[in-house]
Structure 1
Amino acid sequence: MGALYLSGSLGSPDFTKAREYLALGAEADLSARLAYGHLLMNGLGGEKDLVGAEQVFVRAAKLGSLEGFYLRAKLVLGRNASEAEVRAAVNDINSAAKKGFPPALSTIAELYRTGTFLEKSPQKAVEYYLKAADGGYSEALSTIAEMYLFAELGSADIEKAEVFYRQAISKGIKSANYSLAFFLYNKDLENKSGLGESYRIAKIASLAWDERCQYLLGLMYYEGLAVARDNEQAYFWLDLAASAGVFEAHHIRALAAKALTKDQINKVKSRAREWFVANHDRPHGHLFIDNSKHRYQ
C-alpha cells in the first residue's frame, strides 16, 4: 500500500499515508525500508528526520543494500560528525563507487572537484563523472560540461562543453536544455543558426515546464534576436516563468508590459492561465518552489 500511495497509483501521491504504510513494511521488506528512509530524509509526509533516516539506512546496509550503505555515509558527511566518522563515510562511499554504484561515483567525483575530504583533482573528477554517466547517472554529463565551460580543467573548452551538454540533453537531463540554450543564445549574436537552435531548445523545454527555459524564451521574444519580437508572447512565457519562481522574469515581463495595452495584458494572462491549468498536472518538477505550492496568480 505504501508504494501505491507513494507512486500516486491511487490518485495524487500521498506522502503522509505512504510514510505510514512504509514504516510498517520497512521491518519486513528492503524496498519499503529504503523508500521509508527517503521520506524521512526529505521530510515528505511529515517532519524531516535525518537521525531516523540514517538508522533506517544502517539497517538496509546490514541487509546488503548498496544504496543503504551509500545513503548512510552521505548523511554522516552532512551532519556534525567526528573525523573518524568522516573518514569511514568517505571510505564507504568510495567502496560503493568501486562496486559501480552510480550515485557513489558521482559523489566521489564531486569530492575531487571541490577538494572536500579528498585532494582536489578536476581530472579525477571528470574520470568519476564519466563512470557515473556510463552507469546511467546522466546528470554527470551536464556537470562535466560545466567544468569545461568554467575552465576548471585549464582554459575554457567551449567545444567540449557543447558536446557534453548535447549528450546530457539526449539523455533527458532537464537542466542541460537551459544551459545549452542560454550558452548558444549569448555565444554569437551574429550566428543565426546558433540563435535558431537556442530558440528551438528553449521552446521545447518550455512546453515541458522548464521554468528557466520559459524565462529565456520570454527574453528571446522580448529582444527579437532569435525570433521575431513579440511582446505578447514575451509576456506569456515570462508570466509562467514568474509563477514558477524565476525572479528575473518579473523584470523583463514589466518591460514587455510597457508595450502592451491593459486589454492585451488581460488577454495574455488569460491564455497563460489556461495553459497553466491544462499543463500543470503533467509530471514535472520545479527548481525554485515546491510543486504543491505552485499557483498561477
Structure 2
Amino acid sequence: MSAASNIHSLLARLLPERIVPAPTPARRRQRLFAGVGLPSQRAPLGERFGLVSRLDEAVDLQAVYSDLRDRALEGNVAALNDLGWIWLNGKYWLADTSLAGHLLRMAALQGSAAAWFNLGQQHYFGKGVEISYVQAAECYRQAFERGMLHAAAALGDLYEEEVCDGDQDWQVDLIEALRWFMRGAKRGEARCRFEVGYRFLHGLYVQTDTKAGLYWLELAAAAGVMQAAEELAVHFSREDAGRYRDWRDQAILMGSTLALTLKLEDQIQP
C-alpha cells in the first residue's frame, strides 16, 4: 500500500462524519477572536473572503465541515491544516485538541508552513499538550523555513519571553530575539520591520542608528503597522513639522488614538 493510501486510510478513520456544535457562548465570541494559530485559507488584506468569514457566515456548519473533510481526504493539505486549526480552538465546533494535533502533524509533515506554525501555537499555549517553549520554537523555525514569515515575529517574541508558564527549560535571549526580528524584516514581514526599526531608533540591544531606525519604521508604516506611523510622528515632531504632520495624519487614518490626541493638542496650541 502506498504512503498516500495509508494517509487516506488513517484520515478516513480520524475524521468523523459529523461535527459536534460548539457551546453557544463560544459561537458568540468567534467574531471577536479568531483563536490560536492561523488557517491556511486567509482573506487577502482588505477582502472579506477567507475561512473565518466563511465559518462566521455559515448557515450550515456541517456542510462547511463536510466540504473541508472531502478535500482533506482528496489530499488537500490546506484543508487538513484548517480542520486541525478549527478543532484546536473549538470556536465553530467542539474542540478536540488531540485530534487537532494529529491533523496538524500530518499537514506539517506534508510541508504545510501554517500547520508547523499552529503546532508551535499548540505547544506555546499548552492546548492539549504540556507547555513547551522549546517545542514551540522548533515548530516556529520549521514554519519560517517553509515560508511563513510571521513565524519570525513569533520567535522574536518567544526569545523575549520573561515569564515562562510552568517549569520551562528556556533562556531569554534578547540578541537572538533581535536576530529573528531582523530575519523577518529582511524578508518583508511588517511587524518585524517595526520591531527592528524601534530598536535601532531607541538603541535597544543594538547601537542607536537613527537612519536605519527610520528606514525600517517607514517600511513598516507603509505596510500598515500603526505603531510604526506613531513612532515616526513622535520622532519628527521634534525636528520636521511637515513630516510630523504627514505621519500623524497617516496614523490617524490607521485608527491611532495617540495621533488623534496629538492633532487635537496641536489645534488648541496658540
Q: Return the TM-score normalized by structure 1.
A: 0.64
Q: Is the 8 A contact 1:218 1:235 kept in 2?
A: yes
Q: Which residue of 2 aligns with 1:14?
A: none
Q: Which residue of 2 aligns with 1:64?
A: 75
Q: Within 1, Cα distance between the matches of 2:133 and 2:85?
A: 21
Mapped pair 1:238 → 2:267:
no
Over 3 Å counting, the alpha-carbon distance change for 1:252 and 1:133 in structure 2 is same
Q: Is the 8 A contact 2:42 2:52 kept in 1?
A: no
- Greater percentage in helix: 1
Q: Which residue of 1 aligns with 2:193?
A: 177
Q: Which has the higher contact order (CA 8 A, sep 6+)?
A: 2
Over 3 Å counting, the alpha-carbon distance change for 1:208 and 1:93 in structure 2 is closer
Mapped pair 1:74 → 2:78:
no
Q: Is the 8 A contact 1:54 1:75 kept in 2?
A: no
AA at the equivalent of 2:52: N
Shift of 1:40: 6.2
SS in 2 for 1:72: helix
AA at the equivalent of 1:48: E
Over 3 Å counting, the alpha-carbon distance change for 1:47 and 1:104 in structure 2 is closer
Alpha-carbon displacement from aligned partner over 1:230-275 (angstroms, at most 9, x marks no partner): 233222211111111122222233344456x7xxxxxxxxxxxxxx
Over 3 Å counting, the alpha-carbon distance change for 1:54 and 1:256 in structure 2 is farther
Shift of 1:133: 0.9
Shift of 1:210: 3.6
Q: Within 2, Cα distance between the matches of 1:90 and 1:135?
A: 19
For structure 1, the residue ranges without an aligned partner over 5 or more in a row are 1-33, 262-297
Q: Is the 8 A contact 2:190 2:223 kept in 1?
A: no
Q: Which residue of 2 aligns with 1:283?
A: none
Q: Is the 8 A contact 2:229 2:247 kept in 1?
A: yes
Mapped pair 1:199 → 2:214:
yes
Q: For the aligned residues, what is the CA RMSD?
A: 3.1
For structure 2, the residue ranges without an aligned partner over 5 or more in a row are 1-40
Q: Is the 8 A contact 2:197 2:213 kept in 1?
A: yes
AA at the equivalent of 1:241: A
Shift of 1:218: 0.6
Over 3 Å counting, the alpha-carbon distance change for 1:180 and 1:89 in structure 2 is same
Q: Return the TM-score normalized by structure 2.
A: 0.70
1:1-297 equivalence runs, <5 A: 39=49, 41-43=51-53, 48-49=57-58, 51=61, 52-79=63-90, 81-82=93-94, 85-151=96-162, 154=170, 156-187=172-203, 193-222=208-237, 224=238, 229-257=239-267
Q: Is the 8 A contact 1:41 1:48 kept in 2?
A: no
AA at the equivalent of 2:200: L
Report sequence identity in percent.
Answer: 14
Alpha-carbon displacement from aligned partner over 1:177-224 (angstroms, at most 9, x marks no partner): 112222333345995x433321121123334444332121111112x3
